[in-house]
Amino acid sequence: MLLAALIGVMGGALPAQAADAEGRVIVRFKESAQSVRAQALGHASTVGEARQVAQLRADAMGLRQGLALRARLSLDERTHALSVSGLGSDELARRLARDPEVEWVDVDHRRRRALLPNDPLYATALPSGPEAGQWYLKPPGATVVSSINAPAAWDLTTGSSSVVVAVLDTGIRKDHPDLTGKIVGGYDFVAYQNGSIAQANDGDGADPDASDPGDWVDQADLNAGGLGSGCTSSDIANSSWHGTRVAGLIGAASNNGLGMAGVAWGARILPVRVLGKCGGWDSEIQAGMRWAAGLAVPGVPTNPNPARILNLSLGGGGSCGASYQSTVSAVVAQGALIVAAAGNGQETPGNQGGVAVTAPANCAAFSSGVIAVAALRHAGTKVGFSNLGPEVTLSAPGGNCVNVDANGNATGPCLYPMLATSNSGSKAPVAADNAYNYGGVGTSFATPLVSGTAALMLSADPTLTPARLTQLLRGSARAFVTSGAGGSVPQCRAPSSTAQLECYCTTSTCGAGMLDAAAAVQAAAAVSTPTATITASASTVQTGASITLSGSGSVAAGGRSIASYQWSITNGSGSATLSASNGASVTLSGGSAGTVTVRLTVTDSLGVSASQDLVLTISATPVSNVSSGGSSGGGGGLAHPGWLLALALAALALGRPGRPSAGAASAHGA
């Protein structure tokens, strides 16, 4: 499937002639192709070897097509990004698709961080309302109804360090105090294999340093021409520190008396840098996706910390083409969930959002392992900038920095921005900067709330698959609101070329509902219940005797532990007593004869419980076990079996021939 065109700047179209100055495509060669058989490429190949093989294949195909093709990078042993000067990407894709050695071709789009469009209706300002701070994490209330109720989720788990979330973005400022100790490994794919060093902005190509050097663009960058024709004056801006902001929303250190709280503050963050100045290319993003999930990428060391969740707060127009489908399939098969922003509009001039979901989020229509996230206002309505459509999986708070009326006109200052970790440098970063940004809004910031929740769910049950995570997130979502936003707010409709501002969500436009972190984690925990097991030292206990019951064989699921034991006697025809109601082991003492049912309920460390019943027999004390004298019986009586036996023996003795007894009359008369 061919993608449409190079992606323009959010909120502004690229000139057609500039976008087509250099054609870039992703090509997958057939396994039977002569060039594949002639030049093998293995996972262990070095960067130089991978580049050489890719260029040899590009040269061979270029000779057949009459093109001077340049190999950019290799995604796997048969898939390469190629470019050519003087020919548009669409035309290049069409020509190469006809080559007999090609399995499929996609345009290699430039993708952008899914930030707020450069539009005054969504201008940022310092918070001035009563809900300033992290309103989006709190329990929902009368005013803020879209918040995700993270505190109730934290009652169950704050995240496990064994769960790794990959942030595929501009890189991360690892020296931010609220991210210190949260980062594990990482890799920089910007300018990977013949890429633009100017776009990378860190002086080199791909390497293990995923730090964000800043992604500012100024007129000097454009004048130098190193960023390519796809970078225009619309890109001029200060550094966004976008990856750092996303990382903080997912897992900023919490309960440390500093700054802000992340959703999954016990999880770890894997930075994968795929965006530089003016964004990043699909090929670099897809290589980063594969590597993040633990898949081999030619010329790159294997990731020793594979991520279970990939956060993609980026996107652009076009469909989920063959290259993304191939990458998604491989990543999901590896057991990693992909969470992607639905997008904030597209490249139409003046567009304010509310159009069709962009790539790669629209891959959710192709795979249940992809979650597309739309953004909500505090009131639960779709925020104006957020895209929408049937591909959306669910929605989460994305911030609404200014109040607007039904016509999109600003009516007040910024009240509901998203607080995130950041850096105060306008261009290059300030070292160890403890900066926080209140101005963030966008589907970029709704997405990490879902990624963080998924990390909590995997902490509750690490066996959950991407498809099961998606199912539980959808099933636990709260229903969309249908009123209460004030004014004349319409119902959201199917996406078209016409922008939709604030509207009441439906399940066909904004997904299954509003993210509920607490309900999602509870649902994940309940999937794996503990197993209660009772072992008894005997299956029968005599009246007055006792046996030992043990629950130590009970086990918790999902890496959890048994937190408590609760014992009880539920019913039966007999009676018994327990030495205690808790503890791994107890003693049961027999009372009256019959049967009793003993129940053990175990509760794991996340509060999930399970029970087992055991039926025991209480037997009367056998005659052979009781002394004939009955002196231990405490007073005896003729009904006592020991006295009956003594009387019987005496009677036999009195009745023997030749042995009369003087006491016989007294005995009979008694």
Query: Is 242 considered catalytic here?
Result: yes
Residue 596: exposure state from Cβ atoms within 10 A (0-12, 13-18, ≥19):
buried
At CA 24, angle to CA 21 and CA 28, rounded to 5?
A: 160
Per annotation, catalytic residue among 242, 461, 528, 605: 242
DSSP-assigned letters across all residues of 113-142: E----S-GGG------STTTTTGGGSPP-S
Provide the H-helix boundaries in 498-629.
Answer: 517-527
| CA dihedral (114, 119, 124, 130) positive or negative | negative
Query: Is 169 considered catalytic here?
Result: yes
Provide the H-helix boundaries in 98-241.
Answer: 150-154, 197-200, 219-224
Indicate the residue type of 278: C
CA distance 494 to 500: 10
Indicate the residue type of 441: V
Those residues whose C-beta lies under 8 Å from the C-beta of residue 305, and which sit 6 or more positions away, are 164, 184, 185, 268, 270
What separation in angstroms does the CA of 628 have from each of 624, 631, 645? 9, 8, 7
Per annotation, catalytic residue among 89, 147, 444, 459: 444
Per annotation, catalytic residue among 76, 169, 235, 461: 169
Residue 199: helix, strand or coil by DSSP?
Answer: helix
Compute CA 124 distance to the chain's CA centroid, rounded to the nearest angstrom: 28
DSSP state of 416: B
What separation in angstroms does the CA of 283 have from each of 10, 344, 494? 20, 22, 30
CA distance 411 to 486: 13
Instruction: Give catalytic residues, as residue numbers.
Output: 169, 242, 444
